[in-house]
Amino acid sequence: MAHHRSDVLAHAVTLLDTHGLAALTMRRLGAGLGVQPSAIYHHFASKQELLAAVADEILVRGARPRTADEWPDQLREVCSELRHAMLACTDGADVVATVWAFGLGAAGPVAEMEKVMADAGVPDELVAVASRTLVHYVFGHAFEEQTARQAVRLGAVERSLESLPDFDLGLDLVIDGLRARLA
């Protein structure tokens, strides 16, 4: 049975969301589609390439409308969308942060933050620093929240989810740092 690339990708996202990152292998993906792993490699040359496509699909599915006018709110929209997109899929934070680190995908949020800041007249060097700082904050926060929620749901740990730190308060602290630099 032949499959389109989009079918393979959709199945990969379902496999990830249902069974987690450890289950996302070319072998298991092939088995789920009733094909040999080689048929998967026809569409995705490597596991890294597959992961990159999965990460970008997670971001596409989490896309939200933009409504903010001012750069601080525009940055908040990008960061909030990224966070929610990752949290919406099992191990989504791990996958998106890994693909970003590989330099193979998940580049949309940082590119959009760079544009928001450049349009607001933020100097280039500060744009580079602030966009990376923001994305690292979002990744770190989402990784904690997702890891904690998944482990509690599985009964693996007993941590109180009430103790998860507020996302917006930390985000505003970073934005205030950027604002202070521009003052």
What minimum distance in Å lies between the beta carbon of 47 and its own copies? 8
The torsion angle over the Cα atoms of residues 91, 97, 99 and 102, rounded to 10 degrees, is -140
Residue 80 makes contact with its own copies by CB under 8 A = no
Residue 120 makes contact with its own copies by CB under 8 A = no
Distance of CA 130 to the CA centre of its chain: 18
What is the amino acid identity at position 105?
A: G
Eight-state DSSP code of residue 165: P
**157: which residues sit within 8 A by CB, 6+ positions away?**
148, 151
What is the amino acid identity at position 84?
A: H
What minimum distance in Å lies between the beta carbon of 174 and its own copies? 6
Query: Per-residue string for binding with its own copies, 140-179, x by CB under 8 A?
Result: xx-xxx-xx--x----xx-xx--x-xx--xx-xxxxxxxx
Residue 97 makes contact with its own copies by CB under 8 A = yes
Contact with its own copies (CB under 8 A): which of 11, 25, 48, 77? 48
Residue 61 makes contact with its own copies by CB under 8 A = no
Closest CA to 72 of 4, 148, 172, 181: 172
Eight-state DSSP code of residue 59: H
Q: Which of residues 19-38 bind its own copies (CB under 8 A)?
A: 22
Give the nearer residue to its own copies in terms of CB position, either 29 or 130: 130
Tokens of 58: 């997670």
Residue 123 makes contact with its own copies by CB under 8 A = no
Residue that has been written with the tokens 């939200």 in this structure: 64
Contact with its own copies (CB under 8 A): which of 18, 88, 133, 153? 133
Helices (H), 62-166: 71-87, 92-102, 108-119, 124-153
Site residues, its own copies (CB under 8 A):
22, 46, 48, 97-98, 100-104, 128-130, 132-133, 135-141, 143-145, 147-148, 151, 156-157, 159-160, 163, 165-166, 169-170, 172-181
